[in-house]
DNA sequence: TTTAAAATACGCCATTTGTCGTATTGTAGG
DNA sequence: CCTACAATACGACAAATGGCGTATTTTAAA
């Protein structure tokens, strides 16, 4: 029987994951926590009885202490416990951070119960790593990028990774150059309104909500 | 209906994979080849009719031309075709080579039919990447091992080049992380007014007049 | 000790940005 | 032919930003 702990700040998510675990055979819920800090507290309690969870499902974005920081600390203190990061977005930076902090897997929350249970079993039984396919793709891209710092077709990556359209890439380029809506519009011979619409769409695709964050992604990927 | 091609030098393996594909719904066998070179030949034939396979299951160790070399060439010629490497061993070097050559996945041959079918579907439907858990583990280890070259004193560069003060560097750091005035103020325990003053000074020193431009400089110089 | 720099804090105001909507047109694919 | 998507365009409103002041306190250097 695999003992599973769940850490998430949203009660709904905790409930959801809890249900999925109770339905799966071979595993039982050990405890719940609502952020990294309270998780570490509960682990201390466990230390008293020596009754630790085997696997921890850890959300990333949480108040007080986020999941990555928590794993970083917890992996030091309890190296035998495995951590699976559960998150909504496939944020490259966070995947990387999570892996470095010692997480054994990185799954998207949308993953089905079967997948979740399978991942937990695999991690415990075979010491394998669990990754959602989308995450695996990012990981592979990161790997291949690191070895080939120069990418021949830059704009192509933007399209491939985030499904940006040609026009959206034009707009993003303008943003990276520090232009405002009006200036981008002038350059592309469209109204600033159109530019704003495109930018809104870009934000959705990149999972960001500000110019700075969008430009950061573009620059870090060396798109332009 | 997903068209699948199979490339393997062992007749037994071809037969095995062929059977597994014919049993899966939603996909059909397109052609077989026994090494990378003959695969490329058959692809040329396909070009005549425009009837390419959607996904190619490619063995790695093959005589005449190995799978990685074949993928390398084929990905250039037929970028829309996806390649899944199928192999017996989880050889680190080869995983790496395969990823670089443009493979969309790396599966162990022992993988069950369901897994295989699932991987093919995922690759075609979502553009995701398929990896056997063991392979994923290797990939993650490669990722976490490769520590990016850290600059010993990052902030020092900022001070030297632009005479930014310690506090200004703190503020800029917040800006790079996408925080707004209020959030930066909270983090540093000062009022948002103070933050604005500092930002104004930063702009003067960096010779910019917007957040995006300031963040761009910070990122390009790899200050944080 | 005087001086300069750094860090702190506030107000005002125009501009920019982010987020809602809605809506029309063209075009490629089923 | 119909549908989905891309690209275009507009309006309204709240929030954030940039630029202009001024001003006090602390610290370090001359």
Percent of chain A with pLDDT over 90: 2
Question: What percent of chain B shows pLDDT beyond 70?
Answer: 75
Which 8-state DSSP code applies to residue B178?
Answer: T
Out of A127, A130, A219, name the one closest to residue B219 (CB).
A219
Residue B148 pLDDT class (50, 70, 90 cuts): very low
Nearest CA in chain A to B123: A133
Confidence band of A144 (pLDDT split at 50, 70, 90): low
In-domain check, residue A199: yes
- A2 — phi, psi (to 5°)? -90, 130
Q: Which DSSP string do the residues of A184-199 spell out, in sequence order?
A: HHHHHTS-HHHHHHHH
Please indicate, yes or no, whether residues B125 and B20 belong to a single structural domain of this protein: yes
Q: A213 touching B, CB under 8 A?
A: yes
How many domains is chain A partitioned into structurally? 2
Q: Which residues pair with B28 in a beta bridge?
A: B3
> Which range has the worst mean pLDDT, A107-111, A189-193, B189-193, B213-217?
A107-111
- Pick out the nucleotide with least CA–C1' distance to A164: D6
A126 close contact with B: CB closer than 8 A? yes
Q: Token pair of A169, please? A: 């890439």
| CATH number, domain with residue B193 | 1.10.10.10
Q: Do A132 and A174 fall within a single domain?
A: no
C-alpha–C-alpha distance, residues A79 and A147, integer Å: 30
* pLDDT above 80 for A31: yes
**Chain A residue at shortest CA distance from B143:** A143
B25 plus B66 within the same structural domain: yes
Least-confidence region, from A207-221, B45-59, B135-149 = B135-149
> Residue A188 and residue A97: Cα distance in Å, rounded?
38
Q: Tell me if A146 is assigned to some domain.
A: no
What pLDDT does A136 receive? 66
Torsion of CA A141, A91, A107, B87, to 10 degrees: 0
Domain co-membership, A114 together with A161: no
Choose the closest CB to B128 out of A128, A137, A147: A137
Q: Which domain holds residue B198?
A: 154-220
Using one digit for the tens of pLDDT, what is the confidence trace for B84-108? 888 776 566 676 677 777 777 777 7
Distance separating alpha carbons of residues B56 and B130, to the nearest angstrom: 13
- Assess contact for A25 and A52: CB atoms under 8 A: no
Which pLDDT score is estimated for B216? 86
Same domain for B119 and B59, yes or no, is yes
| Residue A198, domain member (yes or no) | yes
Count the neighbouring beta carbons within 10 Å of the beta carbon of residue A79.
Answer: 9
Residues A114 and A182 reside in one and the same domain: no
Report the range of poorest mean pLDDT among A27-41, A155-169, B182-196: A155-169
Instruction: Confirm whether A147 is domain-assigned.
Output: no
Rounded Cα gap, residues B197 and B118, in angstroms:
56
The answer for residues whose C-beta is within 8 angstroms of residue A39's C-beta and 6 or more apart is A5, A7, A33, A56, A58, A65, A70, A74
CA A133 from chain centre, in angstroms, equals 13
Is A93 within 8 Å of chain B by CB? no
Q: Could you tell me the distance in Å between the CA of residue A196 and the C1' of nucleotide C22? A: 15
Computed over every residue of chain B, the mean pLDDT equals: 76
Q: In whole angstroms, what is the distance from residue B59 CA to residue B108 CA?
A: 10
- Asked if strand D comes closer than 7 Å to A51 Cβ, the answer is no
User: How far in angstroms lies nucleotide C1's C1' from the CA of residue B164?
Assistant: 28
Q: Which residue has the tokens 């959705």?
A: A204
Q: Please report whether residue A24 resides in a domain.
A: yes
> Rounded to two decimals, what is the model's pTM?
0.50
Residue of B nearest to A174 (CA): B212
Cβ contact A168 with chain D strand, < 7 A: yes
pLDDT of residue B69: 80
Q: Is residue B156 within 8 angstroms of chain A, CB to CB?
A: no
Q: How confident is the model at residue B145 (pLDDT cuts 50, 70, 90)?
A: low
CATH number at residue B62: 3.40.50.2300
Distance, in angstroms, between A45 CA and closest chain B CA? Answer: 30
| Residue that wins the pLDDT comparison between B197 and A23 | B197
- Chain B within 8 Å of A179 (Cβ-Cβ)? no
Confidence of residue A154 (pLDDT cuts 50, 70, 90): very low
Residue B143: pLDDT band (50, 70, 90) is low
Q: What pLDDT was estimated at residue B128? A: 56
Whether A69 and A6 share a structural domain? yes
Q: Which tens digits make up the pLDDT trace of A87-114?
A: 766 566 677 677 777 777 777 776 667 7
> Tens digits of per-residue pLDDT, B174-196?
888 888 888 888 888 899 899 99
Q: Do A63 and A25 share a structural domain?
A: yes
Candidates A143, A206, A223, partner chain B, best to mutate (most B CBs within 10 A): A143
Q: Do B52 and B140 have their domain in common? A: yes
Q: Are A178 and B99 a contacting pair at CB < 8 A?
A: no
Question: Which residue of B93, B122, B123, B212 is the best one to mutate when testing the A interface, meaning the one whose CB has the most A CBs within 10 A?
Answer: B212
B199: pLDDT strictly greater than 70: yes
Within a domain: A75: yes
pLDDT at A133 over 70: no
For an interface test with A, the pick among B178, B203, B210 (most A C-beta atoms closer than 10 Å) comes out as: B178
Residues B85 and B164 in one domain: no
What share of chain A in percent tops pLDDT 70?
A: 74
Residues of chain B positioned with their CB less than 8 A from the CB of A127: 137
Q: What is the pLDDT averaged over residues B8-26?
A: 81
- Residue where a domain stops, chosen among A141, A168, A193: A141
Closest nucleotide C1' to the C-alpha of A175: C17
Is A14 among the domain residues?
yes
Q: Give the pLDDT score at A195.
A: 92
- Option in B136, B139, B178 nearest A213 (CB): B178
Q: Which of B145, B173, B207 is the last residue of a domain?
A: B145
Of the residues A86, A107, A141, the one at which a domain ends: A141
For residues B165 and B186, state if they share a domain.
Answer: yes
| pLDDT over 70 (residue A155) | no
- As a whole number of angstroms, the distance between CA A190 and CA A184 comes to 8
Same domain, B132 and B193: no
List the structure tokens of A155: 């704009």
DSSP A153: -
**So what's the pLDDT on residue A138?**
66
Of B174 and A61, the one with more pLDDT? B174
Amino acid B7 CA to nucleotide C8 C1' distance, rounded Å:
70
């Amino acid at each position: 029987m695999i003992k599973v702990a769940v850490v998430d700040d949203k009660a709904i998510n905790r409930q959801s994951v809890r249900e999925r675990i109770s339905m799966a055979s071979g595993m039982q819920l050990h405890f719940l926590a609502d952020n990294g800090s309270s998780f570490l507290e509960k682990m201390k309690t466990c230390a008293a009885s020596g009754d630790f969870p085997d696997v921890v499902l850890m959300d990333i974005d949480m108040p007080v202490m986020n999941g990555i920081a928590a794993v970083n600390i917890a992996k030091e203190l309890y190296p035998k416990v495995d951590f699976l990061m559960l998150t909504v977005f496939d944020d490259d930076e966070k995947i990387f951070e999570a892996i470095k902090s010692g997480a054994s897997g990185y799954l998207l929350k949308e993953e089905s119960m079967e997948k979740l249970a399978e991942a937990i079993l695999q991690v415990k039984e075979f010491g394998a790593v669990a990754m959602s396919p989308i995450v695996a793709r990012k990981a592979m891209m990161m790997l291949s990028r690191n070895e080939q710092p120069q990418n021949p077709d830059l704009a192509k990556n933007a399209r491939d990774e985030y499904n940006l359209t040609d026009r959206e890439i034009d707009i993003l380029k303008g943003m990276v150059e520090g232009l405002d809506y009006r200036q981008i519009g002038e350059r592309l011979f469209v109204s600033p309104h159109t530019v704003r619409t495109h930018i809104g769409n870009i934000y959705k695709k990149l999972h960001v909500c500000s110019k700075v964050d969008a430009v950061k992604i573009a620059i870090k990927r060396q798109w332009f």
